[in-house]
Amino acid sequence: MNAQRSWSGSRAAMVVGLVAGAAGIAVLWASGVEFPIYPPPGILILLAGAIFVSVAPWPWTPGVGAFMGLFVTVGFVISGGPPNLLGRDGTSVAVGTWIQMAGALTGLIVGVIATRANYRKPARNRNETVR
């Protein structure tokens, strides 16, 4: 399996999604949402994932981005965040939550698709002769 040498559209979309998720968490933090430590761990996790996905050459790298998106999404659900999508804690919290979840879900979905595509065998050309 050859490592991916150039950026594909899916890799770029995943990095943008992870960075957007981190930006959404930053909006939440600026809106006054309490986090257990400083800085909010989700920002560090998503940015580290975005950096890794952008520089690592291995075909399984998009899976790391997918895991980061899954990690933040599960954390969001466990922490009781879904009511924030409707503005329970104010408009700025709702905006930050929507940005965070759009980015995390983009990283998750695109990461799964890209990882699967990296391991899919290319189709043979019908006119190719088998030796």
Q: Enter the pTM of the model.
A: 0.79
| Domain extent listing, the chain | 22-119
How far apart (Å, rounded) are the C-alpha atoms in residues 65 and 3? Answer: 16
How far apart (Å, rounded) are the C-alpha atoms in residues 7 and 18? Answer: 16
Rg over alpha carbons for the chain, rounded to the nearest Å, is 18
Residues 23-33: tens digit of each pLDDT: 999 998 888 88
How far apart (Å, rounded) are the C-alpha atoms in residues 99 and 56? Answer: 26
pLDDT at 23: 95
Q: Do 28 and 100 touch, CB atoms closer than 8 A? A: yes
Residues 42-100: tens digit of each pLDDT: 899 899 999 999 998 888 888 999 999 999 899 888 887 777 788 777 888 889 989 99
How many residues appear in the chain? 131
